[in-house]
Structures are given as structure tokens and as C-alpha cells.
Amino acid sequence: MSERRVLLICGDYVEDSEVMVPFQALQAYGVSVDAVCPGKKAGDFCRTAIHQSSVHQTYSESRGHNFTLNASFDEIDHTQYHGLILPGGRAPEYLAVNESVVVLVRNFVNSGKPVASICHAPLILAAAGSVNGRKCTGYRAVRPALIAAGALWVEPATLAACVVDGNIISCCSYKGHPEFIRLFVKALGGIITTPNKRILFLCGDYMEDYEVTVPFQSLQALGCHVDAVCPKKKAGDTCPTAVHDFEGDQTYSEKPGYDFTLTANFEGIDASSYDALVIPGGRAPSYLALDETVIALVKKFMESRKPVASICHGQQILAAAGVLKGMKCTAYPAVKLNVVLAGATWLEPDPIHRCFTDGNLVTGAAWPGHPEFISQLMALLGIKVTF
């Protein structure tokens, strides 16, 4: 396998999902991703914005997670990367008038390397003079600027619409992440081997936002059929999510997240029709662990030895189900008591992104561990990405 390196250009109030999902999904697939922002260095963070449809005439905005950069903008050499990702949100509006960003993006496009741009990010391509005569889409509000820059604008039929023209991949919004990421992996020379896997997500109100969205869309991008269910809810209903972040306090902070749309009915769900179960963390597990129908579902997956991947507070449900005895696992540190009392051997998550596999069980401590968490689940399912 030849290692692929990708650059991701960020800015303050970049769209929360549009920066983190590609960042962690690609790492889970074995791609090295450097995230940079002009005027900032490795270890600094960019504030993010949660944008979602509302009853108003445009989307709503709220504060998202703090996204930590892992490289310094001033040290970037575009020749050392195989591709570029440009997330959306409000950041592209000011990045498009930053000459260093414009030159860097132009160099990527002119080199013929794949450039993936989503939501408002095509504004940067327009500023770089890179869309003239090229088919392109994006969030509809960027249409006038794209047309003025000479783009052959493709009106997005849905918020998930993607367009490819040569080495430029464009997408309307994070709703299109699965296809957007899949197209980018293909453009990097990647081959995805997915043996028709069906995966079930066990959701609840105020589950952690990243911990449901990142693995859900990452697995969809690999071609898996992924369903999300919640007790007492049906397909098309939503679960509010929580943004849990680490901001210097003695425990995590919480802010409102996205409304996550369920894809299947909980009632009548057949565990035998799925190949794996994923349990996100957040606050939902504390009440889902009291639901006998949830406990019965989890027991069926564990007794059948199908892969079960649980992260953060999700292990509260495993503990309540009595399926951890004799297992080795980790969890968010505050859940250690539940895990130990349930008879498991505690594995210290140091650093916090450490994840572990014991038999059919994958456990992680928190969303910074998603690349390991997803890749270990992929291994159990026989899913591969090769370059």
C-alpha cells in the first residue's frame, strides 16, 4: 500500500461536520491528513459552526466543537500531498480573500491532484480562478459568485448532490458526505472492498454528535448499508445530539448539536439482519441502559459474536446488559466504574484516542479516537481500502 497524504484547509467557523467527518474518515481508511489554517500553527484550534436547515428562510447556526489543527500553514509544501479538501461553513468567505490560501489552492488544481470542495468552499475555487469552464455545485447561496467566475453551475437537486469535473469534486452540503468522500478516495486511487455489510446504530436523544455522525457517514462512504434506530421512534424522526468538548474544565462541556435523522423503525428491528452494531456515546446511554428492549437487542448481537463497536458512555449499555464479564475494554474514564463492576478488565485510554479490540468487541473512550475505532470495526467486518 502506498501512503496517501491529504491537506485540509480550515478557518474559524468552518462547518463542524464538514471538517471533522472527512478528517477522521480518511484517517480511518489509512490516509494521512494534515489540517491547517492561515495564521495558526499545529496545536491551535479553529472554532466551528453547526449549520442546519430551519423553519426560517436560511439555515441556523450554533457553536460546534473546537477543531484542533495538526500542522502549521506556513510550513505547507503542496508538492508533498496527493489531494486537497476544502470544508464549508463561513470560513471560506474570508479564506477566499487570503492570497496565501488562493495561491495554494490554485497550485493544487493546476497540478491535477484531486480537490474536493463542499458547501461554501467553492468560493475559494472561484477566487483562485479555477472554476472557469468547469462544472461545479455547492450550497445554493454561492451560485452567483461561481457563475461570475465562469463556472458551469450545476443546480443541486438535493443537499446531497455531488459533481465531478476532472480533478475537481464539489458537493452541496454535509448531507452528501458519503458520496463526496467516496469520490475523493477513488480520485486518490483508492479501491474500497466492502462485502455487502449491514450495520445498525443504536441511537438516543442527546447522544454525542460526532460519535454518531462520523462513524455513520464513514461507513456509508465505504458502501455499507447503515441504519439508525431509537426506542419509541421511527424512520424519519430525529434525535437531538449533544456537542461534548474538552475546553479546560474538569469534565467535558456540552452545547446543542445537530438533529440526527433516523433511518429505520426501532420496533420490530431484527438483529439477525445486521452484521454489526454501533453504540455512540453522549448522554443517551444513561437512559437507554434502562430500556429492556435495548438490553435484549445488545445481548443478541453479543451472543451471536457479531462485531459490536461502542464508544465513550456507550459502554454503560454493555455493562447493564451483563455482556462485559471477562472482556477487556475501555470507555470514557468516568464510565470506568460501570465497566469494572460489570466484570470487565479495564484498559486505560492513554492517550484518549486509544481504542481496543477484544474478540468481537471494539471499544473507544471518546470521539478523538474515531480513526482507530472505525478502522478496528472495518477489520472485524473485512472492509478494506487499498491504494
Residues recognised as catalytic: 119-120, 312-313
Sequence length of the chain is 387
Q: Which of 16, 382, 387 is nearest to 199 (CA)?
A: 382
Q: Which are the contacts of 36, defined by CB distance < 8 A and separation ≥ 6?
A: 7, 8, 9, 10, 69, 71, 72, 73, 76
Place of cell 454493555: 318
Residue 11 corresponds to which amino acid?
G
Q: Which of 286, 304, 275, 285 is nearest to 381 (CA)?
A: 275
Reading the block at residue 89, the C-alpha cell is 461553513
Residue 160 corresponds to which amino acid?
A
Residue 96 · residue 146 · CB < 8 Å: no
Residue 115 · residue 83 · CB < 8 Å: yes
| C-alpha atoms less than 13 angstroms from C-alpha of 56 in its C-beta half-sphere | 6
Reading the block at residue 337, the C-alpha cell is 466504574
Residues 151, 228: Cα–Cα separation, whole Å: 37
Reading the block at residue 335, the C-alpha cell is 464510565
Residue 218 · residue 28 · CB < 8 Å: yes
Residues 138, 173: Cα–Cα separation, whole Å: 7
Residues 321, 317: Cα–Cα separation, whole Å: 6
Reading the block at residue 253, the C-alpha cell is 462541556
